[in-house]
Chain A
């Protein structure tokens, strides 16, 4: 049977992997190529790179990193961050990315998601959704953009279904309330989106221990679980995470 996937996430800025808390307070976590190889050796099912480089000067660095990783690591690579036009998607795919994740641009210009999917295929288009629980709307979770700074007025669950209908092949759902907190995924959010769409969803934001990964699949209905800090700082290896999930009855690639 199809295995649930574990995806370590590497936030990259200026050529280095970093990790923040609630999108702030970045700490250096190492060299992206070395980290990618280590996770591949540990049995990671895919890798996700998010380019959070602020200045446009260093944007090209991510292409170089992906080229290096893609010639040494033979599992699917997703790259996101700063993807604004179809040409950006092409450049990343040519560098060796297998999927490209689109976030802010999907909100500003949904047609770009449709264009990219029709040109390169849905299999390589991931739409990233940053969602936060809100009290001032007729729905529970709102979509935010620009690294979580701008509210959009969009209902995250409806937005997810709309993105899938435009051709997104997968959805990366990040709970901004949980990101970096280590208190676990936002399972009600993930479950609501997973039930609303046909495409796979990746749960992201908040993993602090291995039980959180199990809950993300069993309670949240995630097809894949993404985590960063529990792996970067050596608290757990991907292998340990998979062994734990397998013990709890989740199908994984061992």
Chain B
């Protein structure tokens, strides 16, 4: 089998073209494959796990294609980037359709309440949370005092990324949180664990900051 540098997991939900185009842009010399083939996912050097739409549908389609095990295995073993629902699915449970996730991490996926959500200036906040919001980086110091995670390199703390979602993750283990945003309360928008990094926002649609993150991922050696 041909060497695959990056496999974008395709389980039939939504548009993966934006993700693959952005990866091709930052890594023109790499082999990037959008695939639903478990063998290709197993063989790829790194995995991008995107997701759009409703989480229960995503889980169902993932299982329908027999991709659950290969995705879980990749999430534990090789450079892995989850995006949007690809972050949410890693947790145990979602309020969306009261459904089970893949359960790789302990924690829940919760909905923005919408009712009575107000900005500091008193404006009603809409759901979905859609648009560009600041992402604040968290640098855990168990390994080194101040060194940011490799995926934050070259990205300003507080840089804006593009979001579109109505649900957010709440990990049990707060040490996993690598970034957060506010809407209006603080919510986890990036997690990091060993070889895995996953984000709620869309780096593939976040102009230069997003392309920098994808480039960091392509060059990441966890």
Q: CB within 8 Å of B: which residues of A?
A: 1-5, 40, 45, 70-72, 74-76, 93-98, 118-124, 169-170, 194-195, 197-201, 221, 223-224, 253
Which residues between 102 and 137 of chain B lie within 8 Å of chain A, taking CB atoms?
Answer: 114, 119-120, 123-134
For the complex, give the distance between the alpha carbons of A223 and B13 in Å.
27
Instruction: Decide if A121 touches B206 in the complex (CB within 8 Å).
Output: no
For the complex, give the distance between the alpha carbons of A95 and B15 in Å.
9
A76 CB, min distance to chain B CBs, angstroms: 5
Q: Quick one: closest A residue to B53, CB to CB?
A: A121
Residue in A1, A45, A197, A200 with the greatest tally of chain B CB atoms within 10 Å = A1
Q: Hey, which chain B residues are within 8 Å of A121, CB to CB?
A: 13-14, 52-54
Instruction: Decide if B21 touches A123 in the complex (CB within 8 Å).
Output: no
Given contacts A200-B126, A201-B126, A253-B160, 14 further A-B contacts (CB under 8 A): A1-B120, A1-B133, A1-B134, A3-B132, A3-B133, A40-B207, A70-B21, A93-B15, A123-B53, A195-B124, A198-B126, A200-B130, A200-B131, A253-B132
B168 CB, min distance to chain A CBs, angstroms: 13
Q: Let me know if B219 is at the binding interface, CB within 8 A.
A: no
A73 CB, min distance to chain B CBs, angstroms: 9
Partner of B131, one of A71, A122, A223: A223
Instruction: Decide if A170 touches B52 in the complex (CB within 8 Å).
Output: no
Type the 1/0 row for B69-103, where 1 means its CB is closer than 8 Å to any CB of A.
Answer: 00000000000000000000000000000000000
Instruction: Decide if A169 touches B164 in the complex (CB within 8 Å).
Output: yes
Q: Let me know if B40 is at the binding interface, CB within 8 A.
A: no
Q: CB within 8 Å of A: which residues of B?
A: 13-15, 17-18, 21-22, 24-25, 52-54, 114, 119-120, 123-134, 160, 162-165, 182-184, 204-207, 210-211
B129 CB, min distance to chain A CBs, angstroms: 7
B60 CB, min distance to chain A CBs, angstroms: 13
Partner of A124, one of B15, B114, B133: B15
Instruction: Decide if A120 touches B207 in the complex (CB within 8 Å).
Output: no
Instruction: Decide if A45 touches B132 in the complex (CB within 8 Å).
Output: yes
Q: Hey, which chain A residues are within 8 Å of B128, CB to CB?
A: 122-123, 169-170, 199-200
A223 CB, min distance to chain B CBs, angstroms: 6
Q: Hey, which chain A residues are within 8 Å of B123, CB to CB?
A: 221
Partner of A198, one of B52, B127, B205: B127
Q: Hey, which chain A residues are within 8 Å of B163, CB to CB?
A: 2
Q: Quick one: closest B residue to A194, CB to CB?
A: B124
Q: Quick one: closest B residue to A249, CB to CB?
A: B121
For the complex, give the distance between the alpha carbons of A3 and B119 in Å.
11
Instruction: Decide if B211 touches A74 in the complex (CB within 8 Å).
Output: yes
Q: Quick one: closest A residue to B165, CB to CB?
A: A123
Instruction: Decide if B183 touches A2 in the complex (CB within 8 Å).
Output: yes
Partner of B164, one of A4, A93, A96, A123: A123
Partner of B182, one of A1, A4, A72: A1
For the complex, give the distance between the alpha carbons of A98 and B14 in Å.
9
Partner of A2, one of B124, B133, B204, B210: B133
Instruction: Decide if B131 touches A224 in the complex (CB within 8 Å).
Output: yes
Q: Hey, which chain B residues are within 8 Å of A5, CB to CB?
A: 131-132
Q: Hey, which chain A residues are within 8 Å of B22, CB to CB?
A: 74
Instruction: Decide if B18 touches A120 in the complex (CB within 8 Å).
Output: no
A-B CB proximity, top 10 nearest? A121-B53, A93-B15, A253-B132, A123-B164, A200-B126, A3-B132, A253-B160, A2-B133, A121-B52, A200-B130
